[in-house]
A and B are shown apart, each in its own frame.
Chain A
């Protein structure tokens, strides 16, 4: 159950208050017409990107399995949910669940054989799977083929995206702190050693892959029902989209959840506020990627999570500083 006692409990309480407060504030500003639908769209896209980055973080950052096909799961979610609501008039929540499950199923289907591969081979194989999914969609004329899927009803609201994003982050965080998550981290650190300690490495890799895929599928459903249009281009559901997610993940730090969230929000906002930046985006991001790998491969925030214990540390340092008049600790 949720712990609301003690210092950690206070932190939890403030977190929940903060999450609800932020939501209330945004809704208030939207009602007062200070935030227009354009702003809400950016905020929703930021939430969708957070779901994508955090779910890829589970696969790559915590389990150490290099996937370049994350957008493939997004594609499955986006197209399946759109087909369900457009052709079968299913309610959106049902389509949302179905697309998450379908993406997870495909994740298991792909993961079982592919996760036998390691490192760069896995990266290429997942890239291949992602592109095959895209080519298959390109060849289904019922969903528009190369012209794209139009006329999707707008069911996604900012609130839904926001709370699903929170749910994704909380579920993945709790997964990582569970025994399952620990097993995944041990696979990242040393797969052979983890196996020799009796961890069923294939099982945990596939579980992480399926959970990551599921959230990517949900993000896809949210995406298509927000944009009301989706096209099978590589920038939207193909390799370039996977790379986009990867860039956010790497900048935030592999294996750093709060880093993923912060960078996903930042990189979604940046092109909107700097119009010129959008043009040079694909020139600047790769350089950033290179510099990160050269000088700070652990991500901008490194291993530091913005958590209770981290903030408490900073806070206590402040307090200690106050005690000494000479300024030393």
Chain B
């Protein structure tokens, strides 16, 4: 393959993977925007979403779309339960305590999944026959198109919910000023639960899409994409919804280009290098605004 064909191919692959990172990043960014907590367990919800989808397809013999919806519903329930049990009692505790709890929740879900589903990977069922479509000198697979399509639809739905519904307006109000929102009669607890539900369902969708893309799922699959999704959220500006989308796409592309033109063993280091550079050079992210410290 010519180098430019390789470049185009890797950009296509990167954008496909990046759209999943975007889905994960949206959950991080929304939760952080509202309760200022890095939900470490988000990557595990993504992993569990993939497993829910796996069982919906293999046990209940469902097709991809209904499996996706069921898995998203289960994951949002899980997100609500997680928030109620682990995070709500610590809402006024020091941030360090909440962060340790989040790490604990993440480890717990990971090892619980390992006990329930087994530590080995499972082949994800092939519901969609593999097809390749020529696109200039490069190719795009129908799975990549599905990834783009599903991610795009979900992002549009999210945008409509956040911008044009009552609950979306309440979400924005809570993230701006929790106390003021409370005074205006918004049930903050319910809005936080709703935010967790939304974010978790997006992560679950991402999990299924990646399971389908790589044909395999395992209990540890959530860790790296979770961290990369977080990086994407920071890159775009944490708390900013369009930023998460852009950050995810950049992350996916950068990662694939490094793998293609550099070394595949540095694949995971890219994410961290980007993260550290962003934090050091522009902590507010691409679309975020940096806040001044207050006493």
Contact = CB atoms under 8 A, between A and B. Distances in A.
A138 B104 contact: no
Interface string B220-242: 00010001001000100000000
A124 B230 contact: yes
B275 A113 contact: no
Q: Chain B: interface secondary structure? A: helix
B283 interface: yes
A120 B234 CA distance: 12
A64 B95 CA distance: 11
Contacts of A297: 93-94, 97
Given A131-B268, A135-B266, A286 B104 contact: yes
Contacts of A146: 265
Contacts of B223: 239
Contacts of A196: 295
B269 A243 contact: no
A290 B107 CA distance: 11
Contacts of A132: 269, 272-273, 276
A58 interface: no
A13 interface: no
Given A293-B93, A294-B89, A124 B107 contact: no
B176 interface: no
Q: Chain A: interface secondary structure? A: helix
B38 A131 contact: no
B107 A246 contact: no
A66 B102 CA distance: 14
Nearest to A146: B265
Given A135-B266, A289-B103, A121 B273 contact: no
Interface string A291-329: 001100100000000000000000000000000000000
A193 B268 CA distance: 38
B180 interface: no
Interface string A96-139: 00000000000000000110110111011101110110011011
A113 B90 CA distance: 30
A135 B269 contact: yes
B281 to A, nearest CB: 10
A19 B279 CA distance: 45
Interface residues of B, number: 44
Contacts of A192: 293, 295
Contact of A129 (B97, B107, B268, B272): B272
Given A117-B283, A125-B279, A127-B227, A289 B101 contact: yes
Nearest to A116: B280
A34 interface: no
A304 B49 CA distance: 44
Given A135-B265, A293-B90, A125 B104 contact: no
A290 B266 contact: no
Contacts of A131: 268-269, 272
A136 B104 CA distance: 27
- Find the residue from B114, B263, B280 having the highest chain A CB count within 10 A: B280
Contact of A139 (B104, B263, B275): B263
A80 to B, nearest CB: 19
Interface in B183-210: none
Interface string B91-125: 00111111111011111101110110000000000
A121 B230 CA distance: 11
A283 interface: yes
Contact of A113 (B99, B106, B280): B280
A285 interface: yes
Nearest to B265: A139
B5 interface: no
B279 A293 contact: no
Contact of A282 (B38, B86, B95, B107): B107
B38 A293 contact: no
Nearest to B269: A135
Nearest to A188: B96
B13 to A, nearest CB: 21
B104 A290 contact: yes
B36 to A, nearest CB: 8
B280 A283 contact: no
A287 B227 contact: no
9 contacts: A64-B96, A66-B99, A114-B276, A119-B95, A135-B268, A138-B265, A250-B100, A286-B107, A293-B93
The 6 closest A-B pairs by CB, nearest first: A128-B272, A289-B104, A286-B108, A286-B107, A282-B111, A286-B104
